[in-house]
Structure 1
């Protein structure tokens, strides 16, 4: 049986501000629909992704900014970072985790790569290992994203 992740609901405090942010970051707007004053859904898809995000009013009781560790896999971390920065997104410098072995799609340590003392070293992984180089950014509410460089996927991925 195939189980494909299709959609992640993000909690946001200001729907229009979040919509503007994600559109400026290059996400494709798929839907913006309001049924009434209490319910609105905005659906966007990252470039090249089969999975999407949705936020709005009346969709979740989660606190705005509480979603962390959303990974966007990119073939060239420096290029992806530069494009997001050119679009006005504040993105961390590229880094790798000095304390972790890169193993089957997980760099180890704190999976969100956002805490102090996580062994961050500036720059790509020294061997440019797949799954080993990262950059982070957040939306205006603090929902956290991780760019991860993968040029060749692990078998079965």
Structure 2
């Protein structure tokens, strides 16, 4: 094994979620018809290795159940300001012994933790 390649993010509306994640800072890698009217939508962060796919076909993954994934930021305050300018709400930056963190939720309630200085 070498790396985590793709993480499935459960969503109710793939197009609405895609718009959010692009505004959030992800780039579209591929979008193609998949199965039963769903699309394979894969996105990644610039320069990143692990990507995400927006899924609605895994019954065991309910939209909003994702939490605990951490996105590294060089400057957390600048990132939070940039998200605010884009209309994306984020929680306050909390200082912990292992760094500063702020939470962002997608339209389905999936939670991302931003980590930075």
Work out whether the TM-score is over 0.5: yes
Instruction: Report deviation, 1:36.
Output: 4.5
Structure 1 residue aligned with 2:113: 146
Q: Quick check: which one's strand share is greater?
A: 2
Bigger radius of gyration, 1 or 2? 1
Q: Quick check: which one's helix share is greater?
A: 2
Superposed CA deviations along residues 63-103 of structure 1, whole A, max 9, x for unmatched, are 10101011001111111111122222111121113xxx43x
Superposed CA deviations along residues 112-150 of structure 1, whole A, max 9, x for unmatched, are xxxxxxxxxxxxxxxxxxxx1111110000100001116
SS in 2 for 1:133: strand
Gaps of 5+ in 1: 103-131, 151-157
> Separation in 1 of the partners of 2:32 and 2:39?
6
Gaps of 5+ in 2: none
CA contact (8 A) 1:13 1:141 kept: yes
Structure 2 residue aligned with 1:35: 34
CA-based RMSD of the aligned residues comes to 1.6
Superposition TM-score, scaled by structure 1 size = 0.68
> Separation in 2 of the partners of 1:21 and 1:69?
19
Residue range with higher mean Cα deviation, 29-38 or 139-148: 29-38
Superposition TM-score, scaled by structure 2 size = 0.89
